[in-house]
A and B are shown apart, each in its own frame.
Chain A
Amino acid sequence: MFRLRLAPLRAAVVLAVGFVLLRVVYRVVFGGASGAGTVLLDLPRVRLDGPFSHITLFGPITLVGLGNAALSAVPVAGVIVFFGLLNAVINVQSLFARGAGRGPVRAISRSLVIAWATFPALLESVRRVRVARALRGERSIASLLVPIFEQTIERALALAASMETRGFAATRVVTGLCEAPVVLTDAALNFGAVPDQTGWHLDDLNVTLLPGTLTVIVGATGSGKTSLLHSMSGLFQHFYDGTQHGRIDIAGADRASTPPRDTAGFVGLVAQNVRLGFAAETVHDEIGFALAVRGVAPSVVHVRVLEIAARLQIEHLISRPIEQLSAGEASLVAIAAALVNRPILMLVDEPLADLDTSARERVCTVLGQLAHEAGVCVVIAEHNTREFGPIADAWLHIRDHHLGAATFDVISSADPRTGLTGIDRTATGPTATGPTATVETVHPAPPQTQPLVRIRQLSVRHQADLAVNDVSFEVQTGELIALRGSNGAGKSSLLRAIALPSVADAVWVNGRDVRSLKRRSRRQAVALVPENFDDLLFSITVADECRRADRGLVGADTARTLARLLGFDEMTGAAHLLHRHPRDLSAGERLCLVMAIQLAPRPALLLLDEPTRGLDRVARTLVSAALLQAAGATSAVLFATHDDDFACGLATRTLRMQAGRLAASIEVRS
C-alpha cells in the first residue's frame, strides 16, 4: 500500500510552479498586479466597454503586486504538492485492488482505479503524439487531441480485459477440471448482436484439446484467430460483445455463462500487446496481481512470485519498474503473471509479434516447456508459424470462416517468410504492374559524387544511456536500405534523430542541414513513418486524411499515392476505402495510408520504422510492394526491421546496428 515513488511528486511540483506562474500572468493581464512599492512596469490601463466595463486590463505592475499574486496562488499550489506527496507515498491502485472489487459501489470505485492509472499513460500519450504530429508537420488541436483520445480508450479496454481475466472482482469460485481443458461442441461465433460491417463469423467449431499439448491457431489477419482464442478466455462473449452459439466448455465450465473473472483460477491469458494490460507498477506486483486481487496474504504472494520467476529465469527482473522492461522481458513477465494461478489452460495471443530472434526463441522454449513438462494445455494464436514448428502438437487453420486441422507442412508452405522471398523486387500479384517500372530506376544505383544524405557523427542520449553512439553513413540516390539489429539496438532512436534532428550539422540532405530547415522544407527533405504510425491519423475518413495531407502542397494527390501503394493503377481501385474510418482499415492498409501522407511533400528520404511489425503474409506482401512503390516516388528509402527475410527480399544495402553503433555495412545484392 505504501511505497516511495518520486515521479508524481516531481510532476506535482512542476504543476504547482506552473499554476503560480499562470496566476501571476492572469493578474498582470487583468489588472491585479498593482500594489505598494516600486512600479516595475507602467502599462496603460485599458477599460473594456459595454457589458465588460467592470473589467480593466493591465495597469501598473509592482513588485508587491506580483508578490501578492504569487502568494495568493500558494495555498492551491501547496495543495497540489500535498496531493503529489500522497500520490508518491500511497499506491492508490493497490489500495483499490485490495479494498474494492466487492460492495455496492464497486463499479464506480473501479472506474476511479482506472482513472487514476490513466494519468501517467496520458502524459506518455501526449509525448508520443507530439512527436507524431511534428513528423506529420501538423499543428491543429485535433491532430493532438484525437490520437491521444484514441490511445487512452484503447488502453482502457486492454486494461479492463487484463483485469477481468485475472479475476478482478470475481464473485464466485469455479473449480476447473484438469482432464478436459477445451471442448468446443458445434460452436459458432459472430458479432450478431452488434451491427458489424465486416459480417465476420466462424462456424462448425468442434475441437477438443488435451492437457500437456501445445496448439497453434493460424490464419490471415482478420480471419478471427484472436476471436477464437477469446471464445476460450471468455472475453469474446463477455467483453467484446460477441455472440456464441453451441457449447464451449473450458475445464468443465460453460463459457457462455461463466465470465472470465470467475475462471481466472485456471485460465491464464497473455494478451496481444502485453504492455497495455499491465496493471501494476513493478514486475513483482504485476506477477502477483491475480493472487492479490483474490485477497491472498502478501507473504504467500511473494513466495509464489519468486517461484514463478525462478521457473522462467527472470528473478533478476523482480524489482524492476514495469516501464523499464524490453519487449522480450515484458512478454516473459506477462507469461509469468498469467501462470501465477497455476492454470490448466494457457491462452497466448501473438506472443512473437514484437520480438527479435533471441527473444522469440526464449518465449517459444518457455511455452513448449509449459505444455510438455508442466502439463498445461497451451493455445497460441500466431502468424509467425516457423518458430513453433518443433514444439507444436496440433495446428488449427482458420480459412473461409471454418476451422480445420492442418499439418505443419501445409502451414509452413503458406508461411509469410517462405512466401515473401519469392515476392521481393520482381513482385507479382497485386503489384505486377506497379513496381516493374520502379525497379528499373532503383536497381542500378549509380555511384554519385554528391551523396543524397550524409549523417555525421550522430549521437542520441536517453538519460544516462547512449541510444545512438557516433553514427555516420551516407545514402545515395536510388538506394533502398535496410537497417537491422536486435531490439534495443538503437534503430528507432536513430531514425527519429534523422527525421527530427536536435543538433546542427548531424543530418544533411541534398546539401542542407535538416536541423536548420523550417517545418515544410524539413518534410520535403526527410519524412518518417514511425513504429506507432496510428498516431499520425486524426480524421474520421480516409478521404479527409488525404485532403489534409494535400493541404498547401502543389500537385500533391495523397489519395492517388495511396491507391498506388496499395497496388492499384487507378484511383477507383482504392475508392472503397476513402469513406471509411482510418482506424477501421487493416494494419497493412493503415501503414500504406500513413506512407502516402508522409510522401505527400515528396521527401528526398523516406524512413520507416519496423514496417512489418505484427503483419501477416498478405499484409507483408502489400507493404513490401508499397515500399518499392515509395522508392520510386522518392530518392531513397531507409527502413528499420528485425525481420531478416523481409530485409533480404527488398534492400539494396543493409546497415547493421548493435548497441547504438553501426557495424560495417554489408552488400546483399550484386
Chain B
Amino acid sequence: MTVLTAPRRTIGYTSWILVGGSLLAAAAFAWPFFVGAVPADAQVAVPIVAFALIPALIVALALTLDREMYTAKTVALLGVLSAVGAAVRIAGAGVGGVEAVFVLLILAGRVYGARFGFLLGLLTIAVSSLLWGGFGPWTPFQMFACGWVGAGAGLLPHGHGTGAGRWRARGEIILLAAYGVLASYLFGLMMNLWFWPFAVGSGTGISYTAGADPGQNLASFGLYSLVTSTLTWDTVRAITTVVGIILVGPAVLAALRRARLGRRR
C-alpha cells in the first residue's frame, strides 16, 4: 500500500530513478535544441536516439514502478481508472484537443500520488491506443506527457490550512483547475516540441534550423507552437479541463478517497 497511504518521508532509490528517467525523457522531447551541441557527423542520429530513448525509458520506469504497485487494490484501481480514461479519450477522439481525460488524470494523481498518476497516464494512453487503434510513433511521447500530467497533480502541495472544510475543498478545486490550465498548455508545448521539425519542414520562417543559435530556434518554435495548438486546441483543452474539474471534481475526489479508505466493514 505504498502509494495509497500517506506520502513517504524518505526518498528511496526508485525516486531517483524516476527523476533521472524523467529528466532524460525531457531531454529526448527537446531533442531539436540539442542537435547543435553534438558533432556534425552525429546530428543525423539525434532524432533516432530520441525516438528510441522514450519507449526504452517507459519500459524502465514501468519496471521500476511495477513492484510498488503490486497490491490488489492499487492494481484494480489503476486498471479501472485507465479503462475510464481510455473510454473518455475515445469518446472525445473526434473533437481534436478536447481531451477530457486530463480531468481524470489530475484528480486521480492528486488523490493517489505522483507515481500512481504517472502510471495512470501511461496506461490510459496505452489502453485507448490499443482499443482505438491510435498506435504510432507518437504514442510513447503521449504516454510520457500524460504521465507527467498525472504525476504533477500528485506533487501539488497539500494545504494544511486552518480554513473551514467547505472553503478548503473549494481551494483544492481552484488549485487543481489552475494546474489543469498550466498542464494543458505545457502538454501542447511538449507535444509540439519533438514533432516541430517534422511538421513544418524546412524553408519557412518558423522552421527548425539545425546549427542556428538556440535563441533563434526557440523564437521559431514559440511562433510555431502558438499558431499550431496553443491558441486553439490547448485553449479548448484547458477550458474543458477547468469545466470538468469544477463540475465533477468534488464528487470524483470524494469517490476516489472513499475507495482508498475501504468501504466495507
Most buried by B among A110, A111, A117, A154: A111
* Distance of A198 Cα from B65 Cα, bound (Å): 34
Contact of B199 with A by CB under 8 A: no
CB-CB < 8 A to B75: which residues of A? Answer: 107, 110-111, 114, 160
Q: Is the pair B72, A160 in contact by a Cβ cutoff of 8 Å?
A: yes
CB-CB < 8 A to B251: which residues of A? Answer: 142, 146, 149, 538-540
* Distance of A157 Cα from B256 Cα, bound (Å): 12
A64-103: contact bitstring with B at CB < 8 Å (1 yes, 0 no)?
A: 0000000000001001101100000000000000000000
Q: Is the pair B83, A194 in contact by a Cβ cutoff of 8 Å?
A: no
Q: Which of B219-260 contact A (CB under 8 A)?
A: 227, 231-232, 247-248, 250-252, 254-256, 258-259
* Distance of A117 Cα from B131 Cα, bound (Å): 12
Q: Is the pair A106, B84 in contact by a Cβ cutoff of 8 Å?
A: no
Tell me the nearest residue of chain A to B132, going by C-beta. Answer: A80
A215-242: contact bitstring with B at CB < 8 Å (1 yes, 0 no)?
A: 0000000101011001000000011111
CB-CB < 8 A to A539: which residues of B? Answer: 251
* Distance of A104 Cα from B60 Cα, bound (Å): 11
* Distance of A240 Cα from B262 Cα, bound (Å): 6
Q: Is the pair A145, B123 in contact by a Cβ cutoff of 8 Å?
A: no
Given contacts A149-B252, A195-B261, contact A161 B72 (CB under 8 A): yes
The A interface is mostly helix, strand or loop, or mixed, namely helix
Q: Is the pair B66, A105 in contact by a Cβ cutoff of 8 Å?
A: yes
Q: Is the pair B72, A164 in contact by a Cβ cutoff of 8 Å?
A: yes
Instruction: Give the contacting residue for A52; candidates B76, B80, B232; CB below 8 A.
Output: B232
Most buried by A among B79, B255, B263: B79
Stretch at the interface among A19-27, A33-41, A510-518, A622-630: A19-27
Q: Is the pair A200, B265 in contact by a Cβ cutoff of 8 Å?
A: yes
Nearest-neighbour CB distance to chain A for B126, whole angstroms, equals 7
Tell me the nearest residue of chain B to A81, going by C-beta. Answer: B133
Contact of A663 with B by CB under 8 A: no
Instruction: Give the contacting residue for B255; candidates A19, A153, A230, A242; CB below 8 A.
Output: A153
* Distance of A584 Cα from B94 Cα, bound (Å): 38
Q: Is the pair A116, B259 in contact by a Cβ cutoff of 8 Å?
A: no
Tell me the nearest residue of chain A to B85, going by C-beta. Answer: A115
Instruction: Give the contacting residue for B126; candidates A112, A122, A156, A157; CB below 8 A.
Output: A112
* Distance of A155 Cα from B254 Cα, bound (Å): 17
Tell me the nearest residue of chain B to A148, going by C-beta. Answer: B84
Contact of A108 with B by CB under 8 A: yes
CB-CB < 8 A to B74: which residues of A? Answer: 107
Tell me the nearest residue of chain B to A15, going by C-beta. Answer: B90
Q: Is the pair A196, B79 in contact by a Cβ cutoff of 8 Å?
A: no
Contact of A664 with B by CB under 8 A: no
Contact of B86 with A by CB under 8 A: yes
The B interface is mostly helix, strand or loop, or mixed, namely helix
Nearest-neighbour CB distance to chain A for B204, whole angstroms, equals 15
Nearest-neighbour CB distance to chain A for B177, whole angstroms, equals 16
Contact of A133 with B by CB under 8 A: no
Contact of A656 with B by CB under 8 A: no
Q: Is the pair B73, A160 in contact by a Cβ cutoff of 8 Å?
A: yes
Given contacts A115-B127, A540-B254, contact A108 B83 (CB under 8 A): no
* Distance of A194 Cα from B73 Cα, bound (Å): 15
Nearest-neighbour CB distance to chain A for B243, whole angstroms, equals 9
Contact of B77 with A by CB under 8 A: yes
Interface residues on B, range: 35 or more
Contact of B87 with A by CB under 8 A: yes
Tell me the nearest residue of chain B to A224, going by C-beta. Answer: B265
* Distance of A639 Cα from B76 Cα, bound (Å): 37
Instruction: Give the contacting residue for B123; candidates A115, A122, A141, A155; CB below 8 A.
Output: A115
Contact of A191 with B by CB under 8 A: yes
Tell me the nearest residue of chain B to A18, going by C-beta. Answer: B94
Nearest-neighbour CB distance to chain B for A82, whole angstroms, equals 7
CB-CB < 8 A to B247: which residues of A? Answer: 140-142
Q: Is the pair A222, B265 in contact by a Cβ cutoff of 8 Å?
A: yes
A34-67: contact bitstring with B at CB < 8 Å (1 yes, 0 no)?
A: 0000000000000000011011000000000000
Contact of A113 with B by CB under 8 A: yes
* Distance of A157 Cα from B133 Cα, bound (Å): 28
* Distance of A194 Cα from B4 Cα, bound (Å): 11
Q: Is the pair B76, A114 in contact by a Cβ cutoff of 8 Å?
A: yes
Contact of B167 with A by CB under 8 A: no
CB-CB < 8 A to B65: which residues of A? Answer: 108
Q: Is the pair A114, B132 in contact by a Cβ cutoff of 8 Å?
A: no
Contact of B63 with A by CB under 8 A: yes
* Distance of A104 Cα from B123 Cα, bound (Å): 16
CB-CB < 8 A to B63: which residues of A? Answer: 104-105
CB-CB < 8 A to B69: which residues of A? Answer: 107-108, 111
* Distance of A152 Cα from B84 Cα, bound (Å): 8
Tell me the nearest residue of chain B to A109, going by C-beta. Answer: B66
Q: Is the pair B83, A116 in contact by a Cβ cutoff of 8 Å?
A: yes
Q: Is the pair A82, B80 in contact by a Cβ cutoff of 8 Å?
A: no
Contact of A150 with B by CB under 8 A: yes
Instruction: Give the contacting residue for A108; candidates B62, B90, B263, B265; CB below 8 A.
Output: B62
* Distance of A226 Cα from B93 Cα, bound (Å): 43
Contact of B95 with A by CB under 8 A: yes
* Distance of A19 Cα from B259 Cα, bound (Å): 34
Q: Is the pair B130, A157 in contact by a Cβ cutoff of 8 Å?
A: no
* Distance of A159 Cα from B80 Cα, bound (Å): 10
Interface residues of B (CB under 8 A from A): 1, 5, 62-63, 65-67, 69-70, 72-80, 82-84, 86-87, 90, 93-95, 119, 123, 126-127, 130-133, 227, 231-232, 247-248, 250-252, 254-256, 258-259, 261-265
**The 7 nearest A-B residue pairs measured at CB:** A114-B79, A79-B133, A160-B76, A156-B80, A118-B83, A22-B94, A111-B79
A-B contact pairs, 28 of them (CB 8 A): A19-B93, A26-B94, A83-B131, A83-B132, A107-B75, A108-B62, A108-B123, A111-B82, A111-B123, A114-B76, A115-B123, A116-B127, A117-B79, A119-B131, A142-B248, A146-B255, A149-B251, A150-B255, A152-B84, A155-B80, A156-B80, A157-B73, A157-B263, A160-B72, A161-B72, A164-B72, A191-B265, A226-B264
